[in-house]
Amino acid sequence: MGPELKTAFDQQAFRQALGQFPTGVCVVTCTAEFERLGMTMSSFNCLSLDPPLILFSIDRKAASLSLWEKAEGYAVNVLAENQKEISNRFAKSLSNKWEGTRFAHGQFGAPLLPGVAAVFECIPWAKYDGGDHTLFIAEVKSFSSSVDRMPLVFSKGRYAALQSTEFVAPLWPLDIHY
Ligand SMILES: Cc1cc2nc3c(=O)[nH]c(=O)nc-3n(C[C@H](O)[C@H](O)[C@H](O)COP(=O)(O)O)c2cc1C
């Protein structure tokens, strides 16, 4: 047997491949130690129906991570297709992210953005090591959605718009999953 050849993991190709999986875009918010936080995230996903759980992950390098870990509630603001500027604003490390941004106060202290496609108000459920990210799992306490608003889509490093087809997907989650 020859020496074991280790192929370098191609991070750029990995990112490119991950970009083939489109997501929506959220601004997840919270208030911790009297500071308002908001971060654009594509890592939001559904996790459990009963109990109602969702997840998102935050980069360990984020300066605000220690504050996020202290938050007693979060709001997941699912952006509508006309909210790309809000997405870009909350994707930057700016100290004045909230300047000129209208918001309402959520029940757990997390700011709620107007004009969104949906909002989920949550409390912490669990946090896990997620490699270079921290995985947050949260329990949904209340939510609302505007079905007439189309969601903003993110894929291949760009924003996209959703185009529906006439094909209906099977009901999911299927009973067979349980
Ligand atoms: C479309 C999009 C999706 C993003 N998703 C995430 C994410 O899921 N988790 C994360 O930690 N950062 C994500 N980011 C980057 C953060 O939004 C950005 O690093 C953060 O807002 C920086 O601000 P802060 O350091 O002041 O908190 C995303 C950025 C964009 C543009």
pLDDT tens string 30-44: 999 999 999 999 999
The conformation of residue 177, written as its DSSP 8-state character, comes to: G
**DSSP SS3 for 116:** coil
Q: What is the tens place of the pLDDT at every residue in 139-156?
A: 999 999 999 999 999 999
Amino acid at 132: D
Of residues 70 and 2, more confidently modeled: 70
Nearest-angstrom CA–CA distance, 166 and 161? 17
CATH class belonging to 24-177: mainly beta
25 lines ligand 1 (CB under 6 A): yes
| Structural contact between residues 142 and 107, judged by C-beta atoms closer than 8 angstroms | yes
Confidence of residue 26 (pLDDT cuts 50, 70, 90): very high
Q: Kindly give the distance from the C-alpha atom of residue 93 to the centroid of ligand 1, in angstroms, as a whole number.
A: 9
Domain residue spans of the chain: 24-177
Reported pTM = 0.93
80 lines ligand 1 (CB under 6 A): no
pLDDT at 169: 83
Minimal-distance CA residue to ligand 1 atom 10: 58
Q: Kindly give the distance from the C-alpha atom of residue 39 to the centroid of ligand 1, in angstroms, as a whole number.
A: 6
pLDDT score of 22 more than 90: yes
